[in-house]
Structure formats: structure tokens, C-alpha cells
């Protein structure tokens, strides 16, 4: 009976979700475009501001860094792959970034997060935006995982990989009346099969930051959580560390085409809007 129910859910839920999305998407797209237009009229001047981007070696984090570079911001690029960060640094400079600091760190380690913020303050003397982009998805049914070895890693990347940098950065964001920007996901309010742990972690992230927003609102720290992101990208470092079971499952799936540019624009537009988000 259980297998029949699971098979039925696999057949019914994905098409039903897509039908719901098809009806809701035009309205959401209109609202998003309207919000984007309003924010474009009230953009924060990023010249001379200091922006720390986690996960900056590839995917969303790399592209977010380039968007800030185009606006003349000073950048702190954080990821585990230092050699990739040096390449991103050169590209960011060519796009108009001010000073660019590279910090090799693992955001799931609390001591690394303390160090990367300390390095930022030592070099620039301030921090204006913290942009958390680290993320790791998966594509398997929960009971198909084979073992639970990768479960803690998925939660570490998607939850603690956002919380630890925020904890370290808050005292300095308080001084600058700065912003915390978080890479959320549509999966927090539109659950999709085969992404149970990812969706749960992202939902925890959104709830955490929505609560934090109330806690720091009187200190003029803005918390930006774009929840309507229309896609995601694969985190290559997390993929490499996810273990054989997850790697094999990823390897059997075709490479998907993600709407990366839309995501980047949503994040940076929301992050640089003067009005409260």
C-alpha cells in the first residue's frame, strides 16, 4: 500500500504543482516586475560601500559579486576555493569594483566565519552588506537516499552556512546600519518532490531571518529575503563533498537550465533598495 501511495504521489503531485504554478506565475511575475521597477528608482549608492559575498567562487555568488562590482562597491569574496576567488576578483575589478579582498573560508565552520568578518574589518574598517548565497540542492526522494550520511551536510550548508556569517557580521552591520541579504527559494512556499531536505532547510532559513528582522529593526539593520526566486544553481563544492550516494544520484540527472540572471537581479535589486524589504 505504501508503495502504491508513493507511486501515486509521484504521478500526481508534480503535475499538480506545475498547474498551480502556471496559474500563479503571471500574477507573481507582474508583482515582481512592479516591485523591481519601484526599487530601481530608489537604489542605494554602493560606491565606497563594503559588500561581503559568501559562495563567491561560482554560480549565484559569483554573479552577485559582479552586479555589485558594476555599482562600484568594495568586495569581500568568500569561498573555500581560493584559486577561483582570484579569478572572480580580476573579473570584478574589470567591471568597476573598488578594492577586492579574497578570503578562503568554510561558512559551515563558526571559527572561519569569525575570521572572515575580522579580516573584512581589518582591511576596510566597515561592513555594509552581507550577502549569503551558499546553497546546496538535491534531486532524490527522501527514502531513496540510501543512507543518511549526507543529511547533516545538506542542513549545514543551507542553514548554518547562512546563520554563522550573520552572527559574526551583525555587530558591524549595526554600526553601518547595513543589510543582510539571503538567498531564499520558491521551495519554501511551493514544496516540490525530491527536494525535501533542501526545502526544509530553506524554510528554516526564511523563518530565521524573518524573526531576525523583527529583532534588529530598531537598530536600522535591514534583512532582505527574496522568497520568489525562480530557480537555483548547483554548488560544485557542496556537490563534491556530498558523498558517493548523492554524487551518483546527481550524475544520473541531466544538467538543468537555471534562470540565474533573473535570480541575480532579484537579489541585488532587493539588496540595494532604499525602502525596507
DSSP string across 213-230: HHHHGGGT-EEE------
Active-site residue among 198, 209, 214, 220? 198
Q: Are 56 and 135 in contact (CB under 8 A)?
A: no
Closest CA to 185 of 235, 145, 133, 141: 133
**Cα 265 to Cα 69, 130, 183, 195, distances in angstroms:** 13, 16, 12, 24
Active site residue 198: yes
Please count the CA atoms within 13 angstroms of the CA of 2 that sit on its side-chain side: 1
Grid cell locating 131 = 550577502
Active-site residues, by number, are 198
Amino acid at each position: 500500500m505504501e508503495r502504491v501511495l508513493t507511486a501515486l504521489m509521484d504521478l500526481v503531485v508534480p503535475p499538480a504543482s506545475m498547474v498551480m504554478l502556471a496559474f500563479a506565475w503571471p500574477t507573481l511575475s507582474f508583482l515582481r516586475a512592479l516591485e523591481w521597477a519601484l526599487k530601481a528608482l530608489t537604489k542605494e549608492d554602493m560606491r565606497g560601500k563594503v559588500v561581503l559575498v559568501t559562495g563567491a567562487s561560482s554560480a549565484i555568488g559569483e554573479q552577485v559579486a559582479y552586479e555589485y562590482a558594476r555599482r562600484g562597491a568594495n568586495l569581500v569574496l568568500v569561498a573555500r576555493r581560493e584559486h577561483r576567488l582570484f579569478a572572480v576578483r580580476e573579473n570584478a575589478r574589470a567591471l568597476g569594483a573598488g578594492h577586492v579582498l579574497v578570503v578562503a573560508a568554510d561558512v559551515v565552520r563558526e571559527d572561519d566565519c569569525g575570521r572572515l568578518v575580522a579580516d573584512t574589518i581589518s582591511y576596510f574598517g566597515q561592513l555594509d552588506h552581507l550577502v549569503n548565497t551558499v546553497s546546496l540542492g538535491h534531486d532524490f526522494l527522501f527514502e531513496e537516499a540510501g543512507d543518511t550520511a549526507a543529511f547533516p551536510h545538506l542542513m549545514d550548508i543551507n542553514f548554518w552556512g547562512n546563520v554563522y556569517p550573520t552572527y559574526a557580521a551583525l555587530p558591524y552591520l549595526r554600526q553601518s546600519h547595513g543589510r543582510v541579504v539571503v538567498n531564499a527559494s520558491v521551495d519554501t512556499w511551493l514544496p516540490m518532490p525530491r527536494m525535501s531536505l533542501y526545502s526544509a532547510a530553506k524554510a528554516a532559513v526564511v523563518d530565521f531571518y524573518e524573526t531576525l528582522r523583527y529583532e534588529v529593526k530598531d537598530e536600522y539593520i535591514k534583512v532582505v529575503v527574496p522568497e520568489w526566486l525562480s530557480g537555483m544553481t548547483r554548488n560544485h563544492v557542496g556537490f563534491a563533498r556530498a558523498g558517493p550516494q548523492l554524487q551518483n544520484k546527481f550524475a544520473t540527472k541531466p544538467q538543468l537550465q537555471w534562470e540565474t540572471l533573473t535570480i541575480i537581479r532579484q537579489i541585488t535589486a532587493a539588496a540595494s533598495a532604499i525602502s525596507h524589504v
